[in-house]
Amino acid sequence: MNTLEQVRRIWKPLVFLICLVPALLVATDAFGLTGRLGANPVEEIQDRFGIWALRFIMVTLAVTPLRRLTGWNWLARFRRMLGLFTFFYVLMHFLTWLILDQGVLLSAILEDLTERPFITIGFAALVLLTALAATSTDGMRRRLGRRWQTLHNTTYLIGMLGVWHYWWQVKKDFTEPLIYAVILTVLLGARVGWQWQRRRLRLRRRRI
Amino acid sequence: MCNISRLTLVLVNQPVVRRPCVLIRKPSDIRPSEITSQQNYVNRRDFMRAGAVIGGSLIGASALGAIIPDARRAKLGDVGRSAFSTDEAPNSYEDITTYNNYYEFGTGKADPFENAQDFEPRPWSITVEGEAERTGTFDFDAFIKPFDLEERIYRMRCVEAWSMVIPWVGISLAEVVKHFQPTSKAKYLAFETLNDASRMPGIRRRSLDWPYREGLTIKEATNPLAILAVGLYGEVLPNQNGAPIRLVVPWKYGFKGIKGIVGMRFTERRPETSWNMAQAREYGFYANVNPEVDHPRWSQARERRIGSGLFSSKQPTLMFNGYGDEVAHLYKGLDLRRNF
């Protein structure tokens, strides 16, 4: 088997299963099989999905820089799957809030969405992410052409909204949101740096 | 003494030939609880107490006062009941002792449970100062002795929109205030938590401006609902819940219930309070439970009752956490929207 075949047949299914583990643990913890959800299970479930959503968006954004640094081009094969898992965890986070926390009480939901800025921000990130998930297929990619890349660059914006949403929600100890903010800055910074370098190279070539 | 003699005995019996002796334990390995079981410890206390009751019967049982054993989960004796207790079902001991906000032991909800296990709430002293006739530093046992223990099953509403029902054991704060005889200048009562980074790992992080500070108006402090809690579920107060002594003011958000109290000061001017110092826009001095005044970042109209299960909906929050009959008069004429 060549490497691409290996990625498709072995590594992709394996990574898929690994990505499911945090969600499976929520389910098994709910039944007390692997651990516990504690005194406030609704909050715990919501927090876990939320934190995993942030982790997945960071991992997804790390794929391209890592590929450039290492030259492992096969990494790109996992980008879509990781992006879709980000969407999955954000969606679960949202549904936990909608169903378990708010009990689908429309008045309370609308009030939260319009009057609590951190919830508005989180919801905006979900809407954007839904658009990205919907256009993630090969067909959509072909149909959208160059606009596809522009649209999917909003991943960074979604990352920023996600960290902001987390930051604003924390009561006092900003250590954790700060960690995500730093990771995001580094990932975005690397991109900006590379772009800048490329432009300079192009200019130099023109001069020669 | 016992430990040393046990160790010496083992050493004397040592054969000259060296061999691995796995049975030898250093004195530090032998926990006091192995020598004196908690049961015997408590029995000893009971025995002494019984003796004291017999001896003191001539001057009346009340002269005995409150005694708080220095042993984890030890049962408290002579706990009276109170008409202020709710008949709602209390939360489980586990819920009450594993889901806490006590930033001195970490900012996570499970951190106090995990990080306060080794905390020793003795020896402990409380300093009373300011505008009062009786001031000074008192050992905890002496501080608590003049008062009667009472069980108070109270609702507790956290500012984070969750609530519990907690069976506290405590002493009336009004009685405590009376005991120290505040002067006419005393308009407020300020409290302070222990600030010891070596015993409280959360203090190393600057999550709040330590020490934790709280305060009440004198009228609030002398309201019969206010207590200083020293127990939970008829037992000694667990570390993570604020051992050995903490404030409980059930009509206010939970953060007013300052834990691990080492200082009380009667003041003329309103004291600084920790959460208000940290974010004045979000946390006021009064912090009365009020479903109509939202926290800037979340609604206070409803609350999640801890222990109600995964699929139960939130319940409406009551004005003054349902204690309006007892406390509403304290705030007559006060704009509660501004004085949140």
- A23-61 tens-digit pLDDT: 999 999 999 899 889 999 999 999 999 999 999 999 999
B79 vs A172, which has greater pLDDT?
A: B79
Instruction: Specify the pLDDT at position B137.
Output: 98
| Residue to test with chain B: of A164, A171, A174, A176, most B Cβ within 10 A | A171
Question: Nearest CA of chain B to the CA of A169: how many Å?
Answer: 7
Tokens of B245: 């002594």
Domain range annotation of chain B: 38-55+63-331
Cα(B245)–Cα(B98) distance, integer angstroms? 18
Three-state SS at B171: strand
Cα(B111)–Cα(B209) distance, integer angstroms? 19
φ, ψ at B214 (rounded to 5°): -145, 170
Cα(B146)–Cα(B144) distance, integer angstroms? 6
Instruction: Specify the pLDDT at position A162.
Output: 97
Lowest mean pLDDT among A102-106, B101-105, B264-268: A102-106
Average pLDDT of the residues in A184-208: 87
The closest of B290, B255, B254 to B273, measured between CA atoms, is B255
Instruction: Specify the pLDDT at position B273.
Output: 98
Provide the pLDDT confidence category of residue B275 given band limits of 50, 70 and 90: very high
- In this model, does residue A170 exceed pLDDT 90? no
Share of chain B above pLDDT 90, in %: 77
Per-residue pLDDT tens over the stretch A109-167: 999 999 999 999 999 999 999 999 999 999 999 999 999 999 999 999 999 999 999 99
Provide the pLDDT confidence category of residue B22 given band limits of 50, 70 and 90: very low
Helix (H), strand (E), coil (C) string for B251-267 = CECHHHCCCCEEEEEEE
Cα(A184)–Cα(A159) distance, integer angstroms? 7
Average pLDDT of the residues in B105-113: 95
Average pLDDT of the residues in A91-108: 94
- Kindly give the interhelix angle for A41-70 and A175-207, rounded to the nearest 10 degrees: 20
Provide the pLDDT confidence category of residue B3 given band limits of 50, 70 and 90: very low
Say whether residue A167 is in contact with chain B using an 8 A CB cutoff.
Answer: no
Q: Which residue has the tokens 């200048």?
A: B185
Instruction: Specify the pLDDT at position B311.
Output: 87
Instruction: Specify the pLDDT at position B168.
Output: 98
* Count of residues in chain A: 208
Three-state SS at B235: strand
Instruction: Specify the pLDDT at position A7.
Output: 82
Provide the pLDDT confidence category of residue B102 given band limits of 50, 70 and 90: very high
Burial (CB < 10 A; 0-12, 13-18, 19+), residue B124, is buried
Provide the pLDDT confidence category of residue A208 given band limits of 50, 70 and 90: low
CATH fold of B38-55+63-331 reads Sulfite Oxidase; Chain A, domain 2 (3.90.420)
Instruction: Specify the pLDDT at position B136.
Output: 97
The sign of the dihedral angle between the CA atoms of A31, A34, A37, A38 is positive
Instruction: Specify the pLDDT at position B58.
Output: 40
Average pLDDT of the residues in A94-111: 93
Contact A168 B297 (CB under 8 A): yes
Pairing of strands B261-267, B125-130: parallel
Residues of B with CB under 8 A from a CB of A: 91, 94-95, 98-99, 103, 107, 109-110, 160, 162, 205, 207-208, 278-279, 294, 297-299, 301-302, 304, 306-307, 310-311, 313-314
Question: Which amino acid belongs to residue A69?
Answer: L
**What is the overall mean pLDDT for chain A?**
93
- In this model, does residue B57 exceed pLDDT 80? no
Chain B residues inside the 8 Å CB shell of A118: 297
Residue of A nearest to B308 (CA): A40
Cα(A143)–Cα(A32) distance, integer angstroms? 47
- In this model, does residue B250 exceed pLDDT 60? yes
Instruction: Specify the pLDDT at position B23.
Output: 47
Tokens of B284: 């006021």
Tokens of B185: 């200048």
**What is the overall mean pLDDT for chain B?**
86
B60 vs B219, which has greater pLDDT?
A: B219
Provide the pLDDT confidence category of residue A204 given band limits of 50, 70 and 90: confident
Instruction: Specify the pLDDT at position A2.
Output: 65
Who contacts B314 (Cβ-Cβ below 8 Å, separation ≥6)? Answer: A101, A102, A103, B161, B302, B303, B304, B305
Q: Which residue has the tokens 């600057």?
A: B206
